Amino acid sequence: MQPEPNQNQLEEIGYRGLAYSEHYPLSGANPVDTSEHPGALICIEGTDRAGRSSHIALLREWLENDGYGVVYTAFTRSGLAGEGIQKAKAGHTLGPLTMDLFYATDFADRVENDILPALRAGFVVLTDRYTYASLARSIVRGSDPEWAEDMYRFAPKPDAVFYLDVTVENLIPRVLSGGGFDHWESGLDFQEERNIYPSFIRYQERLLRVFDDLVERYHLTRIDANRTMREVFGDLKDQTKAVLDHTGVRPTSGKSEEGK
């Protein structure tokens, strides 16, 4: 049996073979600096059924057809914590603090293993929700906002965050056509309501108010998602093209819209 490594050896080995130092990308002390990476990080934010997944799929297809390398990532998709979150939520016993820590772990794992490598390789990273959805859910459930924000102090600054702004009235038919009301997206885990419909209305109204505050504080780009999919996607495509032009990210395959 090999002897256990001592502290000096552990520091040399580091997590997953990376040495811990002030240069370690996820030290947690400050936002990870991605300014020298040739890729772009574009986030789509919004509440459930705002249209995030559909528009990311459209953006991905458009960008790939135009020759860009694209990487997609989303909430609860990490190899480290994704399955655990789904199992915990299936039992309806996940408390607010555990939920906060689970989501922060999921995010950190995706940053290290999905987002940063893709940005270093010059890809466009499309992420379905970023830190803002986690903050909104946490704040609505009573967590201290400063504590919640501090959990994500390591988060790289996105090149753009597009917030799909939708009213509760427009959410209801989308939710009903998409499978019905969800336990967590209706706030049944912490609100006093027993009926899922009024609980959904109350929770979403509270959540959207927090999102409104986050949009102003973090200068997110608001997109009116109460319109048709064609209109919303038109805005997202124009905004995304402007971001890529500004950051200098170029197609990797030599294609371009002008050459089509």
Cα radius of gyration (the chain)? 20
Amino acid at position 260, single letter: K
Residue partners of 191: CB distance under 8 A and separation at least 6 = 199, 202, 203
pTM of the model: 0.85
Which segments in the chain show pLDDT lower than 50? 1-2, 4-7, 9-22, 257-260
Q: Specify the pLDDT at position 77.
A: 87
Q: Domain range spanning residue 121?
A: 10-250
Is residue 181 domain-resident? yes
Q: Specify the pLDDT at position 76.
A: 85
Paired residues of 125 in beta bridges: 41, 71
Q: Specify the pLDDT at position 190.
A: 93
Q: Specify the pLDDT at position 256.
A: 52
Is residue 51 domain-resident? yes
In terms of phi and psi (left: phi > 0; alpha: psi -120 to 50; beta: otherwise), the region of 129 is: left
Q: What is the CATH number of the domain that holds 32?
A: 3.40.50.300
Is residue 146 domain-resident? yes
Is residue 259 domain-resident? no
Q: Specify the pLDDT at position 94.
A: 79
CB atoms within 10 A of CB 67: 16
Three-class SS of residue 141?
A: coil
Q: Specify the pLDDT at position 25.
A: 62
Instruction: Quote the CA–CA distance of 12 and 4 in Å, as a whole number.
Output: 14
Is residue 197 domain-resident? yes
Is residue 183 domain-resident? yes
Is residue 225 domain-resident? yes
Q: Specify the pLDDT at position 82.
A: 84
Is residue 255 domain-resident? no
How many domains is the chain partitioned into structurally?
1
Candidates 150, 137, 162, 157; CA nearest to 224 is: 162
